[in-house]
Structure 1
Amino acid sequence: MASASSPPCDAQLLCSICLDVFTEPVSTPCGHNYCRTCITGFWAASSQVHCPLCMKRFRRVPQLQINTAFRDMVEHFKGARGEDGVPADPGDVPCDICLDPKLKAQKTCLVCLASYCRLHLEPHQRVKALKKHRLTEPVSDLRDRLCEKHDKLLELFCCEDQTCVCLMCTNDDHAAHRAVPLERAFRERKVQLDRETTGMKMKEDAMSRSLKAGKHSAAQSKKESEKEMADIAKAFNSLVASRARSQAELTEVIREKRKAAQKQVEDHVTRFEQEVAELRRRRSEMEQLSQTEDHLRLIQRWPSLHLPARAGGPLDPRSPSSPPSASDPRDQQSCVAMVKKAVARVEKTLSNEMEMLIREVKCPGASGEERPAGLVPERWTPPRDKLMILQQYCAVDVTLDAYTAHYRLEVSEDGKQLKFRKGLQSFTALFGRRFQNQFLILGKEGFTSGRFYYEVQVSNCLNWSLGVMDESVYREGTLITAPDVGMGLVNGVFNLKSCCPDISFRFVPQKIGVFVDFEQGELIFYDVTSRTELCSFSECDFTKTEPAFKSWFHYLAGLSYKPKLYPFFGFFRDDTDTTLAITPVVPPT
């Protein structure tokens, strides 16, 4: 039998339900001990409340009391048998003191060069001399912390060699080197690491923002592209619907015309049938009368059977032998030819506009880009700049209108050159719609829409004036005031109330290119020789509101009003040696 001072055996400290060391032990009214979780679970699972050992029954679930003395005994027993320690798993640092099974080390002593579990670490926490030892987190291989040459702990950091050394190394190999404690080097490196980490974090955030912005821009670009494609599809669908309506309207007109012609033919057929029946009846009576020998009857019946032939009637030899046809084949051929011609013209215009649009979208001002085969002619040269695109696709033929010229101006026979007249004014100029106060002239061609470009040679003139104006300006007799004479001046007159300021240049252009986009309200002047833009005007109002009376008159007459934009040319002063010439637009090769 065990003495009173001997420690309890393991069986006395095991719960009779879970057969393990007590966890939060409690006592029942009968004096037996159980784990709180075990006994409450046992009672919850059984139909009667009783003690598992003595089988004493209780009317209700008794109130459990914690046996503090027994609980302290269990805790002391757990500490004695190392229950607070955890067995070392593969990969963990084991305790160097424990025998098998080894527990997981809690700390490593850099002085003793050993790792300890919680139980064997107790002297380092209790003995005064051992408390001075340096304890770190468990280290699996202490050989990495020892100097290979002196077998001492690496406690210093050599700043020159950037390596860890021991105290013995500072006396031989690193005697002249600057060495600092490992803790100080650690703090410095920690600060440097934090600084670099912060910089990398800032760079990462900036790159993330840029990436997010790029994704947003790509998504926005995709959304805009989809919207543009939807708008383009809508525009083409609208065009197709418009053409379908026009086709339906033309078909309906032809159908109504055919119905009217068919009704006319049917009326002619009915009338011809009636006349043929009448002729057949009279012919039959005449044949019968011609066979009779009764003189009196023949004489009496003759007035009723004999009728004078009326023009175009059934007895008229000029009367047609057959009714007119429902429609004239020549009319049908003419209508079909007109439709084919209109369709071909619209298709050609649309094809040219779309081809130019595709080229501008694919290469807006860029040079040297290769075009897919079959898109353009084989010898087509890609445009080097925007001016070359305008020269290739927007060039128009402009001719001077002598009937609008000032009486001092003379126009060449081909209508391409302008200069001052040396003699008297011509007879045609007396009756023209000429300018009275300015040395100006208009082009014959007026434009109501689209884009056009032309070039003027100004190398033989120092006081020239170019631009475009509304058709009503010269009729109203008012124009801009002539500016001071400079090396070169450009005036853009849009209408009577809106004119651009005069622009002077410090160089002498040789050839001027004028580009107008009617719908966009854009006017641009180019120096063709240097291929540079001289000046430009945007958001110009090329349209002109029609007066109320004219608008009402045009409405009654069923006419539409579209203001025309005319190129104008001229001089600022009388100089017989000056000449302006409209030259053909030739893109550079």
Structure 2
Amino acid sequence: MSFNYCVLSEEPLLCSICLDVFTHPVTIPCGHNFCKKCITRNWDLKGKYECPLCKDMFIRRPVLRVNSVLSEIADQFRQSPLKKPDISSEQQYMFSTYSLLSEEQFLCSICLDVFTHPVTIPCGHNFCKKCITQHWDVNVQCQCPMCKDVFDRRPELRVNTFISEMAAQFRQSAVNKASSCSVQKYANSGGDVLCDVCTGTKLKALKSCLTCLASYCETHLEPHHRIPGLKRHTVIDPVENLEERMCKKHDRPFELYCKTDQMCVCLFCTESDHKPHVFTSVVEEYKVKKAKLEKVEDEIQQMIQERRLKIQEIKQSVKLSQEDADRETAESVEIFTVLIQSVQKGLAQLTDTIEEKQKTTEKQAKGFVKELEEEISELMKRKVQVDQLSRMKDHLQFLQSFPTLNTAPPTKDWMEVRVHSSYEGTLRRAVVQLEETLSKQMKKLCADTELKRVQQYAVDVTLDPDTASPYLVLSDDEKQVKSVVIEKNIPDNPKRFSMCNGVLGKQGFSSGRFYFEVQVKDKTEWDLGVASELVNRKGKIKLSPKNGFWTVWLRHGTEYKALAGPGVPLSLKSKPQKVGVFVDYEKGLVSFHDADTAALIYSFTGYNFTEKLLPYFSPCGIAGGRNAAPLILLPLPLP
């Protein structure tokens, strides 16, 4: 398949805030495009959600998702711009930097044609306004046909200004190309069937005669209107290759179709070679074959569309895989950097310990040496006295002087004194301590990383009052729920829990990933998790995956259990104050996290979800004034 191409200048790709080529371009509800960082900063500074170009005001802060088409074009432009292309002034792009774009980048994945009134939906994908509107009209959910994101409310659709301009250029380019081809074909073939009788300049044929096997202009056709013999000829609109429309055996025009042999025949053929066969008129068989062809064409078109969508799905998967790989690499680098720092710190501490031991040894040795030197000094003095006395020859003087000899100075028994610093076991103890430290750090870092990973799928959840048990009270903003002792007088409905103190979230999910957090502070009992949309809500309910519930509970202030049917007792190091619930629909995973310590509480894995999942909450009953605190849905930064 060949595509048209268009040369694009840098100017349409400039963000009107930073005046640079788009980085992570997003489309806001009015249809204008900006860098995600630029428009976010603009709104943060102004404190109001207004388009800097058209001044449209938005009541709520729009969710910003990167526009896939714009992002791809901007990346392509930055990576391989064309410098000063040789293009005509008719292309209207006389700027300093250009990029060559393919028509394929501007095809709607629903109709497989160049965008008509292109709109950008909240997930960042683009479609013709009519196509996505019809798609949502025939489907129950407002879901993106490409990434399967589900929108709680039907998004307001505004034409994307940049993509609309580019699509218009490609449509005009296709028209010009088709016109050029038509002119060329006309020039090569003469454009029309020509009269076979005209000499010199041949005129356009008005009719073709299947009997004469010739085409005639108005002048040369006149005998067929006037001469009786020619009037009986079969005359049709002008066509080429008249011989192919005649039976070569009987020289008669093909007027019938033999269904038995699947071929065109003349009237004489029905009485000879094809006599016992089944026939129909050429026109009728044309209608039958045309209908079949249209069906085949529709099937082919459907196959093409499926494969185009598959290509988009694969490209999206590769993009998501690359994002996951980049994120995993960044997280791995962060974790290993911390671990390397810990090893370096451990080595430094070990070195310091050894050096400190050596310094202590040297200090001790220095003290011993000083003490020994002092003893030697005293002993030397005594030795001098002894020498003097020993040199006396006079017996009387020797005996008289002997008492004057000083008493021997006090000395230490140095035989058992040793200067020895043992380093045995120092390295082993340091390695063991380092191993324990690294193990704790790895667990903490991995838990922190995993919590950050799931928190990026945060969603805004509100409680559904139509499902709340009569023993529950919801706050006005539908973000808090607590139990009451006296049953409320409210109308029953099929969605409401009758006996179980439960309530569901309004938002349901049938694909993708989502995460929400609940404050459970000051509570002694609670149930949290997700439930299938079709769970039983009347009478006593056993919470288990078999019954459509994936939950964790707290009882008696300290007893935690995962209700996996049978229940799994949980031993937690600390009492969670905030619990995060994460669901990966496609992987069949429901995990619970301590949002403060990042510790994993429990994971349900290996389930095959087939129904919509809804957040489930139960503050449980009030016992003697205890457990009166509400469960509170916490606000989270949305992606």
The alignment's TM-score, normalised by the length of structure 1, stands at: 0.37
Larger radius of gyration: 1
